[in-house]
Amino acid sequence: MPLEPKESEAPLSRRDFLRTTATTAAVAAPYFVPASVFGAQAPSNRINVACIGVGNQGFLDLELFSAQPDCRMVAVCDVNQGSPGYKNPEDVRGREPARKLVEGLYAKQSRSGNYKGCDGYGDFREVLARDDVDAVVVVAPDHWHEAITIAAAKAGKDIYCEKPLGLTIAGQQRMIKAVRDNNRVLQTGSHERSNPYVREVCEMVRDGAIGKVRRVVCNIGRHNKVGPGPGWKPMPVPTNLDYDFWLGPAPEAPYHQDRCLYNFRFNYDYAGGQVTNFGAHSIDIAQWGLGMDHTGPTQIESLYADFLPEGSLFNASTYSDFRCKYDNGVVLECVTAEPAVRCAFFGDDGVVSIDNQGQNATVIPRGLAPEELQKRVKYHSGPDHVRNFLDCVKSRSEPAAPVEVGHRSATVCHMGNIALRLGGKFEWNPKTEKFEGGRSDEANAMLDREQRTTWSS
């Protein structure tokens, strides 16, 4: 569906400008140079992209975007100049290694074997101030997604924002507003949306291949890192890292290496543990297969939650089990388990389960046999999601995982965390997006978080 331009004061981006002037020139000016002269490299065809946050996933996204012929990665931005200490502790990442990676990738494609033209920044606002940047990839930790996305939308940039969409339900609503008010394209980085294999499974479920769906089970994975326990000692801030900028909208806190790179996902100030990390994929598939993209459950109940001892740096739940109910009676259960199955749909006539890589589905006992499914759909992942985003930047159409869809899937994850932290059962109104009934005040107070004023949006 094309995005309707609104009568707002949305900024004219470089691409909007090029498109407008190209159209005007084609009609009015005989000296206009047609795009065919430049081919795929024509200024109006090429999408200049900057990647904000170049750590673990940022490096992967850099490679995926740089591989697209009509995309040019013109800038990378990170508050870490460069260091080891990421998911694989030996990997050196951050803005200088990222800049070198990009220039190396383009050098390989150039005749001279040399390439210069990707700039490194420590402050994303300088990236957004560049007129020649069309789109940004937001791959900073979750607590930064809202501020960077809103600033990018206001600056007229299109946005590929990694999953989960935001840190809070209210923050995500503000992101939607900024994206729509400024007529921007936003793709949420839940790449299974562009995996035709998963698409097929979701369509099968919605088309009744397993009869009436009664239950969906989603895996949310275990903590895959160990953090320091109570009594941990702050560490000196490394010179390569602008730690205050890393904290950004989050509360002030003493530095520890396990607070920041990669491990931030286990601390509730910056993320929601594996509930939002893995849940943003598995629960997203559940929402998709159930046809609930623009709504959500009406009830949520914490069944079991485990946390590390008070004072541990990792304070997100280590074991999570919560159950949601939708208005139509379908039950969604999200549970920490070995990640062999990402998401399983149970219906009256069978079961469909998708493995953790989104590469295999098992259909039992009726419907298609797994081999038939394999034949029908060839596995693709990541690059198609990036391709879909770039195509939508050009066509101004809705991408595979628009901001509202990313919001609704992440909302179920955030609701899960709220229930796990408070304990008990809560009623949710997906229209007003508020908890209702007994103890709703407590739960509604967790829809948003205070942000340090310098970064509030």
Structure tokens at 4: 């309707």
Rounded to the nearest whole angstrom, what is the least distance from the CB of residue 106 to ligand NAD in the complex? 21
**Complex with ligand NAD: residue 83 or 173, whichever CB lies closer:** 83
Rounded to the nearest whole angstrom, what is the least distance from the CB of residue 139 to ligand NAD in the complex? 5
The H or E element containing residue 403 is: helix 403-422
Please report, to the nearest 10 degrees, the dihedral formed by the alpha carbons of residues 407, 137, 56, 340 taken in order.
40
Cβ–Cβ < 8 Å for 162, 186: no
Site string for ligand NAD, 22-61 (x = CB under 6 A): ------------------------------xxxxxxx---
Rounded to the nearest whole angstrom, what is the least distance from the CB of residue 226 to ligand NAD in the complex? 17
**Complex with ligand NAD: residue 58 or 227, whichever CB lies closer:** 58
Contact status: 255 vs ligand NAD (CB under 6 A): no
Window of 256-264, 304-312, 332-340, 443-451 that interacts with ligand NAD by CB under 6 A: 256-264
Cβ–Cβ < 8 Å for 195, 384: yes
One of 156, 248, 296, 367 touching ligand NAD (CB under 6 A):
248
| Residue nearest ligand NAD, CB atom distance | 55
Name the nearest CA neighbour of 317 among 243, 418, 398, 411.
418
CA-angle at 79, arms to 75 and 80, nearest 5°: 100
Contact status: 243 vs ligand NAD (CB under 6 A): no
Integer Cα distance of 428 and 433 in angstroms: 7
Amino acid sitting at position 400:
A
Contact status: 261 vs ligand NAD (CB under 6 A): yes
**Complex with ligand NAD: residue 240 or 360, whichever CB lies closer:** 240
Site string for ligand NAD, 146-165 (x = CB under 6 A): ----------------xx--
Cβ–Cβ < 8 Å for 133, 75: yes
Rounded to the nearest whole angstrom, what is the least distance from the CB of residue 141 to ligand NAD in the complex? 5
**Complex with ligand NAD: residue 134 or 162, whichever CB lies closer:** 162
Cβ–Cβ < 8 Å for 53, 140: yes
- What is 63-122 written as a DSSP string? HHHHTSTTEEEEEEE-SB-SBS-SSSTT--BSHHHHHHHHHHHHHHHSSSS-----EEES
Contact status: 94 vs ligand NAD (CB under 6 A): yes
Site string for ligand NAD, 277-316 (x = CB under 6 A): x---------------------------------------
Task: Tell me which DSSP letter residue 241 carries.
Answer: B
At how many degrees (to 10) do helices 56-66 and 383-395 cross? Answer: 60
**Complex with ligand NAD: residue 166 or 347, whichever CB lies closer:** 166
Window of 1-9, 10-18, 72-80, 303-311 that interacts with ligand NAD by CB under 6 A: 72-80
167 three-state secondary structure: coil
Tell me whether strands 350-355 and 425-429 are parallel, antiparallel or unpaired.
unpaired
Integer Cα distance of 135 and 66 in angstroms: 13
Tokens 């940022």, located at residue: 58
Contact status: 191 vs ligand NAD (CB under 6 A): yes
Contact status: 358 vs ligand NAD (CB under 6 A): no
Contact status: 189 vs ligand NAD (CB under 6 A): yes
One of 48, 80, 188, 267 touching ligand NAD (CB under 6 A):
80
Structure tokens at 330: 């379908």
Contact status: 142 vs ligand NAD (CB under 6 A): yes
Structure tokens at 432: 């007003």
Contact status: 168 vs ligand NAD (CB under 6 A): no
Rounded to the nearest whole angstrom, what is the least distance from the CB of residue 111 to ligand NAD in the complex? 33
Integer Cα distance of 209 and 350 in angstroms: 8
With CB under 6 A as the rule, give the number of residues binding ligand NAD.
31
Amino acid sitting at position 149:
T
270 three-state secondary structure: coil
Integer Cα distance of 217 and 283 in angstroms: 9
**Complex with ligand NAD: residue 192 or 326, whichever CB lies closer:** 192
One of 160, 197, 262, 270 touching ligand NAD (CB under 6 A):
262
**Complex with ligand NAD: residue 107 or 253, whichever CB lies closer:** 253
Window of 105-113, 134-142, 287-295, 445-453 that interacts with ligand NAD by CB under 6 A: 134-142
One of 13, 14, 15, 86 touching ligand NAD (CB under 6 A):
86
Structure tokens at 246: 């890393």
Cβ–Cβ < 8 Å for 353, 343: yes
List residues near ligand NAD by CB under 6 A.
52-58, 77-80, 86, 93-94, 124, 139-142, 144, 162-163, 189, 191, 245-246, 248, 261-262, 264, 277
